[in-house]
């Protein structure tokens, strides 16, 4: 029985593409997955994938049910005066995690990345390229990738202790204080020699 | 058939106690577990538990099959001149993770802590008390617990990216350079106002 109510044209095709994308990202990883391969898996013309999605990243965001596009948020965080880069990144990071729906989704993603090798590879490649890569482009120093990875390590460690494992010495600290403590660390990683 | 070869007296009783400890730590958490409760679960006299194990921490180390006692390592890291505290902690932390058996065991523990609520609580309580608590005691400032939690967050984030999820921008960095980058962060958390 197909539903009879009004529905935007192509909803099923679009959903098919998203499902195919989940499968292809999980089996091939983020790096090797292509819009063409996803179209093949979904049994549709590649042009149709391009019709619905601007690119691989946008399709990944939807396939992973991310509550927003991390690349867009990072773009907003890195824009602005370089002296407050660390503070903007720290504040922006926690602002995302403090939203309950985002937090739940991210905790679930961390769990799958840690326990499942395919999910781990997929997220590793996405984080390396779309998150570390973008923060790295904002670093002053030429080894931007390494600097951004240090930033990511500090933030991921805090997210682990505050939201995933919930160690009291971290969950008890007011958010503003956490930002104040961590911002200089991020600033140093990104801007000092 | 019981083995006939030579064997230290009480091996079975000791193993019984360790098994009971695994069960009790998992069901009650680290904090609420007691040597008396573990003795009861093992069906032995509490004095026998004390005969084999110096205390709850030593029993936990064995029940979790930790390759060494973290509290002892931390004791060694925090001893020495306070100006190099960050460097000693960073170097000591990576020295542990770079040993393959330790790394494998820790990756397994991180996986269980992240995916299983009981394991998560048990490890959270152990980390809060025996690791964060001990580093905190070395902090100059009165809010030592919070400072030590920041140290732990930086180190755990690095371990996640380097050993668990294996993001190339972190795995590619030579160890000495990682220590050099991270030591000032730990030093600042522990010693600055």
pLDDT for residue A37: 96
* CA A110 to each of CA A95, A160, B114: distance values in angstroms, whole numbers, following the listed order: 18, 9, 8
pTM of the model: 0.85
pLDDT band of residue A2 (cuts 50, 70, 90) is very low
d(CA A88, CA A81): 10
Asked if A150 has any chain B CB less than 8 Å from its own CB, the reply is: yes
d(CA B149, CA B178): 20
pLDDT band of residue A5 (cuts 50, 70, 90) is very low
Kindly give the parts of chain B with pLDDT less than 50.
1-7
> Under an 8 A CB cutoff, do B127 and A165 touch?
yes
> Under an 8 A CB cutoff, do B153 and A158 touch?
yes
Nearest to A115 among B111, B169, B189 (CB): B111
Which of B19, B110, B102 is closest to B59 using CA atoms? B19
- List CB contacts of A11: < 8 A, sequence separation 6 or more: none
Q: What ranges in B7-162 are assigned the alpha helix state H? A: 11-32, 35-42, 46-52, 56-63, 70-78, 85-97, 100-115, 117-126, 133-138, 144-159
Q: At what angle do helices A175-191 and B175-191 cross, to 10 degrees?
A: 140
Phi and psi at residue A192, to the nearest 5°: -95, 155
pLDDT for residue A9: 53
Nearest to B114 among A110, A172, A182 (CB): A110
Helices (H) and strands (E) in chain A, counts: 12, 0
Do residues B157 and A153 touch, judged by C-beta distance below 8 A?
yes
Asked if A165 has any chain B CB less than 8 Å from its own CB, the reply is: yes
* DSSP reduced 3-state for A170: helix
> Under an 8 A CB cutoff, do B185 and A154 touch?
yes
pLDDT for residue B144: 85
pLDDT in tens, A63-102: 999 988 888 999 999 999 989 999 999 999 999 999 999 9
d(CA A135, CA A70): 11
Instruction: Work out the minimum CA distance from A15 to partner chain B, whole angstroms.
Output: 29
Do residues A88 and A77 touch, judged by C-beta distance below 8 A?
yes
> Under an 8 A CB cutoff, do B166 and A124 touch?
yes
pLDDT for residue A7: 44
pLDDT in tens, A114-147: 888 888 888 889 888 888 888 888 887 778 889 9
**Number of CB pairs < 8 Å for A and B?**
115
Q: Which residue has the tokens 């923060």?
A: A135
> Under an 8 A CB cutoff, do B160 and A173 touch?
no
Round the average pLDDT of chain A to a whole number and report it: 89
pLDDT band of residue A10 (cuts 50, 70, 90) is low
> Under an 8 A CB cutoff, do B161 and A153 touch?
yes
């Amino acid at each position: 029985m197909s539903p009879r109510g009004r529905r935007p044209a192509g909803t099923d095709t679009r959903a098919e593409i998203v499902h195919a994308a989940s499968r292809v990202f999980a089996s091939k990883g983020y790096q090797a997955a292509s819009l063409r391969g996803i179209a093949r898996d979904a049994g549709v013309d590649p042009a149709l994938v391009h019709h619905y999605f601007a690119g691989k990243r946008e399709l990944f965001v939807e396939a992973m049910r991310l509550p927003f596009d991390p690349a867009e948020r990072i773009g907003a965080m890195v824009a602005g005066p370089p002296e407050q880069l660390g503070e903007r990144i720290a504040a922006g990071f926690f602002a995302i995690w403090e939203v309950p729906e985002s937090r739940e989704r991210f905790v679930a993603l961390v769990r799958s990345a840690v326990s499942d090798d395919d999910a781990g590879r997929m997220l590793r490649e996405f984080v390396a390229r779309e998150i570390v890569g973008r923060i790295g482009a904002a670093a002053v120093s030429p080894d931007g990738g390494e600097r951004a990875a240090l930033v990511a390590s500090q933030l991921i460690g805090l997210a682990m202790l505050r939201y995933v494992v919930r160690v009291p010495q971290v969950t008890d600290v007011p958010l503003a204080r956490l930002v104040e403590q961590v911002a200089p660390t991020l600033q140093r990683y990104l801007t000092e020699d």
